[in-house]
Amino acid sequence: MSFLSLRVSSSCSAHRPLALLYSLQPHGGPLCRRSLATKHQPAAAATPAHAQDKKGQSSRGGKPAVHSKSFVQNMFRGLVEPEQTFPYPKVLNEDQLETLRMLVPPTEKFMEEVNDPLANDANESVSEEVVQGLREMGGFGLQVPEDLGGVGLTNTQYGRVTEIVGANDLGVGIFMGAHQSIGFKGILIAGDDAQKQKYLPRVATGEDFAAFALTEPASGSDASSIKTRAELSPDGKNYILNGSKIWISNGGIAEIFTVFAKTPVKDAETGTSTDKVTAFIVERKFGGVSHGAPEKKMGIKCSNTAEVYFENTPVPVENVLGGEGKGFKVAMQILNNGRFGMGAALSGTQRAVIKKAVEHATQRTQFGSRIDTYGAIQEKLARMAMTHYACESMAYMVSGTMDRGYDDYQLEAAISKIFASEAAWFVTDEAIQVLGGMGYMRDPGLEKVMRDLRIFRIFEGTNDILRLFVALTGIQYAGGHLKELQNAVKDPISNFGVVLGEVTKRGRTAIGFGAGNLLSDKVHANLSEPAGNVCKATEAFGGAIEKLLIKHGKNIINEQFLLKRIADASIDIYAMSCVLSRCSMSLNEGLSSAHHEELMTKTYCNEAYDRVLRNLNALKNPTELSNFKSMAEISKGMCESGQAVQGNPLGV
């Protein structure tokens, strides 16, 4: 993990959403449009991503609407697509479970007995003893294949290990994650065989550390504005790299960097050159690589964060990663692939924090009774538990989706990152409140957790930008299908299937009949009512999206007040589906915790459903819309004056 380019620079910029579309494109073209969902689809395990249906073309020409099994993508069309979400993924075979049984206890013991979070924080570094211990445990190459010196964990296994680290020390988690979750992840998922053979054994053993270098002083959320350049040398053997990167995690200790730079790319047909972003594997020993002093940060102090400079650094042409001009694609692959780990790590953080809060609540007596018997504390603990349950359910849902071979999980991963970073902040804040004055002190460790957590809503895509990403990507997917319908209506005979499907759906809605509870056979019978609410919420959500598309068209990109409410509603609906799926599994298997999980699931879903309806209502409520306009004016006034506009009420 690192302080990436996807951070909010200014909410006062009118053109920021347009820059967002270009900076967040996963494939270098328009944001991906996805597919039609139906109730009856084969099980996910039998339909890997590469076998997903890509058909659905209108005879009137134009690109067909792309089809997807993504739950969130289809939500934007008002359709429930259960394939990736129900049943809850069980992706580990017995050998993989046994590997975890061997890894989890010693990892927990090491983090609890050898690592000292408070000492790391005070010293602003990870002790050599801990670093060497992680090397010996294989902690720096958890997902590198075994034949290349790594442990070879799946995404789900990796998530379980990072959960342990997140429960103990988020600073160490960033140190490890900056190295493998994004530092050399590009080599792992986009490198050629020669690049993998050369670099992965070195980084897997911790012989060399890696870093991800994208962010620059002038490029925050708008990653397309990077200034670092790489020009091909006259002999054609090297790219000459010049520029600087800021806030790079592991920047001062890394020997291997994944660096993004502008390069002139010639069009084969026209012969004209255009600057495009290219990803490079850069070694410090190439020369011309230096770094600044470690940054002084609020939290995650033991992780090294520094500015990195490249001055006439020669990079062999064979070190281009993913192809010339394909840097955006590589960056998005890395970020999408790595975000699931944050959800797992922060689930571990929440579990550890909850334990401290419960221990205090059950041991603290005030006014003659233990404080856990008071309603105010009970509500806090319950909300902490429900939030953690949703976060954990979502994290392993995403990793399970990835491990089953689907590659269309970018929105689910983004939602998981948003939810986890905000959930961990909420749970830790409430835990400090439960502990009272003791929670504010250094020794319990919660104040350190709070400081460490603040960065998670900023890096690997700020939550503000990711909300726009979720909303705009989903809207564009829905818009692709709406356009397909518009084309199909022009020739209804040739496109009878497309037209009939839409007419049937719209006709049922018009006479007051929704699609019904399409999840009734996917969830445990005890959860039928909240499952029905997921279906109703999804249908209402899709209808709201269509109305916004018709009303605003392409200008929806500028309606950020509306886009935030859309994103928040989609996050709640996806969270509901994750807890319902997991709780159904627990009930079906008769787990001892099943009744407790059922209580949490029903309560969480009730409140989430209400939030969805409130957010959808805000999209059309005159008072809310008027308030949005007023807030824009308030912000404008502040930006023009450079401060709070009003003076002190005392006049002095």
Whether residues 124 and 201 share a domain: the answer is yes
In this prediction, residue 223 carries a pLDDT of 72
Whether residues 355 and 420 share a domain: the answer is yes
Encoded amino acid at 620, one letter = K
Counts of helices then strands in the chain (DSSP H, E): 20, 10
Q: Please identify every stretch of the chain with a pLDDT value under 50, giving residue numbers as ranges.
A: 1-61, 489, 498-500, 503, 506-507, 510-513
- Domain boundary pick from 205, 235, 264: 205
In this prediction, residue 502 carries a pLDDT of 52
Quote the radius of gyration of the chain (alpha carbons, Å): 25
Element (H, E) at 496: helix 496-510
Whether residues 126 and 260 share a domain: the answer is no
Q: Is residue 51 part of a domain?
A: no
Q: Is residue 408 part of a domain?
A: yes
In this prediction, residue 23 carries a pLDDT of 37
Cβ–Cβ < 8 Å for 209, 339 = no
Q: What are phi and psi of 310, to 5 degrees?
A: -125, 120
Nearest of 74, 92, 102, 103 to residue 396 by alpha carbon: 92
**Residue 258: beta bridge partners?**
212, 281
Whether residues 509 and 361 share a domain: the answer is no
- Domain boundary pick from 154, 181, 205: 205
- Domain boundary pick from 153, 170, 205: 205
Whether residues 173 and 250 share a domain: the answer is no
Q: Is residue 37 part of a domain?
A: no
The pTM of this model reads: 0.88
Nearest of 6, 456, 12, 463 to residue 220 by alpha carbon: 6
Whether residues 449 and 351 share a domain: the answer is yes
Whether residues 485 and 611 share a domain: the answer is yes
Whether residues 175 and 238 share a domain: the answer is no
Domain range for 107 is 94-205
In this prediction, residue 270 carries a pLDDT of 85
Output the domain CATH number for residue 164.
1.10.540.10
In this prediction, residue 5 carries a pLDDT of 34
Whether residues 476 and 603 share a domain: the answer is yes
Report pLDDT digits (tens) over 445-480. Answer: 999 999 999 999 998 889 999 999 999 999 999 988
Instruction: Tell me the DSSP string of 431-459.
Output: HHHHHTHHHHSSTTSHHHHHHHHGGGGTS
Report pLDDT digits (tens) over 105-153. Answer: 999 999 999 999 999 999 999 999 999 999 999 999 999 999 999 999 9
Cβ–Cβ < 8 Å for 426, 349 = no
Whether residues 338 and 316 share a domain: the answer is no
Q: Is residue 20 part of a domain?
A: no
Whether residues 105 and 148 share a domain: the answer is yes
Q: Is residue 267 part of a domain?
A: yes
Instruction: Tell me the DSSP string of 246-299.
Output: EEEETTTT-SEEEEEEEEEEE-TTT--EEEEEEEEEEEGGGSSEEE-PPPP-SS
Q: Is residue 12 part of a domain?
A: no
Q: Is residue 387 part of a domain?
A: yes
Cβ–Cβ < 8 Å for 345, 162 = yes
Cβ–Cβ < 8 Å for 310, 288 = yes
In this prediction, residue 267 carries a pLDDT of 85
Does residue 460 carry a catalytic annotation?
yes
Nearest of 568, 422, 409, 479 to residue 69 by alpha carbon: 409
Determine if the peptide bond prior to 87 is cis (ω within 30°): yes
Whether residues 356 and 474 share a domain: the answer is no
Q: Is residue 523 part of a domain?
A: yes
Alpha helix stretches (DSSP H) within 511-593? 528-552, 560-589
Output the domain CATH number for residue 311.
2.40.110.10
Q: And the tokens for 460?
A: 């690997």
Q: Which of 81, 295, 307, 460 is catalytic?
A: 460
Report the domain count for the chain.
4
Output the domain CATH number for residue 375.
1.20.140.10
